[in-house]
A and B are shown apart, each in its own frame.
Chain A
């Protein structure tokens, strides 16, 4: 079978000492940051992004991916021990994780989380390995029109479904594409929106944008809440090695939820717009519904911890399916991954599997290695993670600001890039004031140049006939779905009456 030789090739790449080292570094730093409350995967990746500029592309991707799924592991620790979700995808874990900790079963909750996460991760990787070649093959015949419409569909889905207000999400996507148009227009060579300065000729840097929008503005927002006295000093529950061992009853209860949640997570992870957070909510709700004893949920049911953590890890892995096979990110984190590939001159898409098989399968297999490392890392080091939770935020945030400044400067040794970070930090804070979501802006920014090029090329091929896009069968279908989605989401914006909605801000 073909797939076995691919897996062998991937393992060969993933197990080289250098890649193994950076995979370890990635999951370690990811867990570290995921444990710290108030810093999510996006801020973590954008902060550590500049470091990977100096690495080989495959190694860089392996490390970034490790940070990404490492934060999901770490986030659950803060949820269980402190009732403060470290990341948005572990919000649900608080519901039953913290009651378990109060009952003195924190160790079991953490251990079952690690096992569930591992199971979900491995399941997601399997789905990824099986489906990616199929999707890649069917996308090989795509022309500019198909890519353009598919990207528009992806952006509409990602911004319209999950955010509170569809019009705001869509506006942020458009703003992102506009910001991406700063710099030289590759087709005519004209400088756009540079106002005569040399600094803007290469355009605005993606890492500067991400660090300002997610790093700096998150720091500003978190300082507010911390000094307003909302969090008291915390004393996490002590966790010993012995307390980690689950009872036979725990294992029996968790087996089926793991299987169900892996499927739910894999499904929602691969769809654009939904992601680990939605997957964790849905799987929790599902377990509560199918359970014979739903009254135990919210009071320390082990299923209520296992289900969301399994689902969000499965989703973390399958989110790579559209990213790697089509080059279309379903979430802001995936947009950062695509940006990282472009920095190294790699354009993810259907050709990637055939032209860069070593990189593709090396990356996929590194997920496997990373998941094994995480389970080895997490259980014995839980004492260390617990102690991390006691670091006060007033010592932490100056360090974050410093790392962001140095990181932004080290990308191309340009002081202007650091000023850009401050500018986007201000924009990010303003967007928080007006409740505008930041993730769609990043998506638009990363896909912007591609959308414009594909659109202009498609129009040249069609001799300026817009109807030609609709008449092609595949792109026509994408257009119809986009229009329906757009109409539906804008309609619900107007009907919406300030109801609380799921906000997917962190994937």
Chain B
């Protein structure tokens, strides 16, 4: 099969565009991962794993040493309640 020169130019241009798009996607992905990683480091929280996975070993999670018990200074999640209000739950001594 022969290819018309203009078709080859179009194909090369499309390849260049596609390559650029892939590179851009990779760069964007890296940026997003970096941003997410930065955000996670700034406000650590407990890890969450699927309850359906009971297989031994081979965890895909990183073995980093960052503490998931670190605190943020955000206490706005707690406020005074109406003392006559029926509680939904209890934080009782244990």
Q: Do A and B come from one complex?
A: no
Residues on A close to B: CB < 8 A? none
